[in-house]
């Protein structure tokens, strides 16, 4: 979500955005903008202040400086993309460790606070897409070579290298439909709900697919469309092959653009390194734009379970309320964490 300019501030109005009643989920997305210095520089400093719940004010000059510095970092630091990837890979690993621990029952305040913080860090990658959409990427590359014949190749780079969020949902759904079509065992409906329902919406609340009757109808609809178990499997494998082909095309696009800069572009080694970093940067953006939502809904699923256990209302519980409800020794208040 992009901010709205109000005087000397960029304002993020998550209080009225997102199709969720959960102030906690809105706060996670809102907090991600405070972590943008970490996204860009690896800095623990957080920006912005809350004027109202889930209404974040960030000084416009600070945020404009960060957005401009995305190009500046690509120009000025040969290892920018590599260090960025390492930072997000480390945060992703930390997120998955905290997530698995929480799924296994570690509901200590420290682990849940760490899980939320890592989710916010991963979501902060949105600043890069905001500054480096397709047209901006073409403009950047045009500084080093002619791009008229490269538009489709640059566009191909925006294919995520991971399985996209909603494709992940469809593949899981097809897998469970394939098993359910073999033998109408109701346990496959329950398993499908556990693996698919939370992926269907960017919500912390239960989704319509959490209702067994709704999920059963959806699975039967898939079976009516694709037929028997082998045919459903063929559809699932076709989707996987199609995704692999798209990823291969993205990697070939990187190769083609690098060949193009060798033939028609600037011949300085520094320019070639900058172009290569730019291409890797685009692929990083495309991939983490998908991963960040998967991580967010994984976090939401665990937090939903905890709130149910603690008898906390989804529509009322904020981050600090959740942490205070957990039984482990006190830690610093959420807004003071870095």
**How many C-beta neighbours within 10 Å does residue 292 have?**
22
Residue 333 has pLDDT above 80, yes or no: no
Q: Which residues are 12's β-sheet partners?
A: 56
Q: What confidence tier does 266 reach under pLDDT thresholds 50, 70, 90?
A: low
Residue 267 has pLDDT above 80, yes or no: no
Q: Would you state the structure tokens that stand for residue 196, as one six-digit string? A: 């698919």
The C-alpha torsion from 142 through 146 and 149 to 153, rounded to 10°, is: -40
94 by Cβ neighbours in 10 Å (0-12 / 13-18 / 19+) ranks as middle
Kindly report each contact of residues 169-173 with a partner whose C-beta sits within 8 Å and lies 24 or more positions away, as own/partner: 169/196, 169/199, 169/200, 170/239, 171/236, 171/239, 171/240, 172/196, 172/199, 173/218, 173/219, 173/222
Average pLDDT, the chain: 90
Q: What confidence tier does 157 reach under pLDDT thresholds 50, 70, 90?
A: very high
Calculate what percentage of the chain has a pLDDT beyond 90: 75
What is the CA 105 to chain-centroid distance, rounded?
25
Residue-level pLDDT at 242? 96
Which of these, 37, 78, 33, 11, lies nearest to 278 by C-alpha position? 78
Residue-level pLDDT at 203? 79
Which of these, 164, 214, 225, 174, lies nearest to 195 by C-alpha position? 174
Mean pLDDT of the 187-207 span: 89
Q: Which of 225-234, 235-244, 322-331 is predicted with the least confidence, judged by mean pLDDT? A: 322-331
Which of these, 151, 154, 159, lies nearest to 285 by C-alpha position? 159
Please state the pTM of the whole predicted model: 0.88
pLDDT in tens, 5-51: 899 999 999 887 777 889 999 999 999 999 999 999 999 999 999 99
Mean pLDDT of the 260-264 span: 78
Q: Which of 80-84, 147-151, 284-288 is predicted with the least confidence, judged by mean pLDDT? A: 147-151
* Domain regions of the chain by residue span: 4-144+298-333, 152-265
Residue-level pLDDT at 330? 44
Mean pLDDT of the 145-158 span: 90
Residue-level pLDDT at 186? 93
Residue-level pLDDT at 258? 87
Q: How far apart are CA 127 and CA 291, in angstroms?
A: 15
Task: Report which of residues 262 and 199 the model is more confident about.
Answer: 199
For the chain, state the CA radius of gyration.
22
Which of these, 159, 160, 162, 157, lies nearest to 258 by C-alpha position? 157
Mean pLDDT of the 94-120 span: 96
φ, ψ at 51 (rounded to 5°): -95, -30
Contact predicate 32/126, CB 8 Å: yes
The number of helices, as runs of H, and strands, as runs of E, in the chain is: 14, 4
Q: Would you state the structure tokens that stand for residue 106, as one six-digit string? A: 């570690």
Task: Report which of residues 206 and 82 the model is more confident about.
Answer: 82
Q: Which of 18-22, 112-116, 159-163 is predicted with the least confidence, judged by mean pLDDT? A: 18-22
33 by Cβ neighbours in 10 Å (0-12 / 13-18 / 19+) ranks as buried
Q: Which of 11-20, 62-71, 288-297, 325-334 is predicted with the least confidence, judged by mean pLDDT? A: 325-334
Q: What confidence tier does 327 reach under pLDDT thresholds 50, 70, 90?
A: low
Residue-level pLDDT at 335? 46
Residue-level pLDDT at 265? 62
**How many C-beta neighbours within 10 Å does residue 218 have?**
19
Residue 183 has pLDDT above 90, yes or no: no
């Amino acid at each position: 979500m992009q901010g709205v300019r109000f005087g000397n501030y960029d304002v993020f109005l998550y209080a009225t955005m997102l199709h969720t009643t959960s102030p906690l989920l809105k706060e996670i997305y809102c907090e991600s903008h405070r972590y943008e210095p970490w996204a860009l520089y690896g800095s623990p400093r957080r920006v912005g202040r809350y004027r109202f719940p889930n209404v974040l004010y960030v000084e416009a000059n600070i945020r404009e400086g960060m957005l401009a510095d995305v190009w500046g970092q690509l120009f000025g630091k040969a290892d920018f993309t590599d260090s960025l990837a390492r930072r997000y890979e480390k945060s992703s690993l930390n997120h998955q460790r905290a997530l698995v621990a929480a799924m296994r029952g570690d509901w200590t305040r420290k682990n849940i606070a760490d899980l939320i913080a890592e989710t916010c860090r991963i979501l902060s990658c949105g600043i890069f897409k905001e500054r480096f959409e397709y047209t901006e990427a073409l403009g950047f590359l045009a500084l080093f070579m002619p791009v008229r014949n490269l538009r489709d190749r640059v566009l191909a780079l925006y294919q995520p290298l991971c399985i996209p969020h909603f494709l992940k949902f469809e593949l899981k759904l097809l897998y469970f439909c394939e098993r359910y079509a073999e033998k109408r065992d109701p346990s496959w409906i329950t398993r499908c709900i556990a693996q698919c329902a939370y992926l269907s919406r960017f919500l912390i609340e239960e989704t319509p697919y959490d209702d067994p009757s709704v999920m059963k109808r959806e699975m039967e609809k898939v079976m009516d469309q694709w037929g028997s178990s082998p045919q459903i499997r063929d559809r699932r494998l076709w989707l996987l092959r199609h995704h692999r082909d798209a990823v291969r095309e993205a990697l070939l696009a990187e190769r083609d653009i690098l060949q193009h800069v060798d033939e028609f572009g600037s011949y300085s080694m520094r320019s070639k390194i900058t172009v290569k970093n730019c291409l890797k940067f685009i692929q990083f953006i495309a991939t983490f734009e998908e991963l960040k939502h998967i991580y967010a809904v994984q976090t939401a699923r665990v937090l939903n379970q905890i709130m149910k256990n603690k008898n906390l209302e989804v529509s009322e519980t904020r981050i600090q309320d959740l942490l205070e409800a957990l039984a482990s020794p006190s830690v610093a208040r959420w807004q003071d964490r870095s």
